[in-house]
Amino acid sequence: MANNNLLLFIQNILPIPTTIATEIVNHFKDISIPKNHYLVQEGKISNEYVFLLDGLIRSYTFDTEGNDITTNFYTKNHIVLEVSSFFNRTPAQESFQALTDCKGLIINYEQVQILFHSIPEFREFGRKVLVQNITTLKQRMLSMINQTAEERYEDLILTKPEILQNAPLKNIATYLGITDTSLSRIRKEFTKKGG
């Protein structure tokens, strides 16, 4: 069942024969990530390419004043990857921490390189995943400029409600680029509206 999720994910990104998708999936191993455990820590080189089956992971860094700022949330059926550290083999500039107990499928850097060179479809799949991630990052960057905090909150409710159920409010606030107080006010307004 777990491998079926990854199989469907791959074929949704890149329609390829099931035999090839299965060959790719067979290189992944099961992983359990306990709540609060780090998948990647800032300053270390990332070696993990994870397909998240269940749970919630957040990435974060610190601003110039030492405040913990959430940069992203990863939910089930998504790839969790510190892309710059993983592919450039440089120290990670963010930490990735499980906010809940998580289950996933993992492959390491060396295995990814072998698959890139031996299965052209995996290389194309990887390219498409990176393009999707760049697009998502661009949309998030633009939303911080051209959307109100309320609009960003509403978008989060619609696209990733599991974040609101499992992430601490302070993490959600920094992700949205607002204070805890502003988030509390916005949540109250949404509750009044029936949102």
The answer to whether 162 touches 56, Cβ cutoff 8 Å, is yes
Question: CATH homologous superfamily for 2-117?
Answer: Jelly Rolls (2.60.120.10)
Each residue's pLDDT tens digit, 161-172: 999 999 999 999
pLDDT digits (tens, 9 = 90+) for 147-157: 999 999 999 99
Mean pLDDT, the chain cut into blocks of 10 residues (195 residues total): 84 94 96 97 97 97 95 95 95 97 97 96 94 92 94 92 94 95 91 72
Give the global pTM.
Answer: 0.91
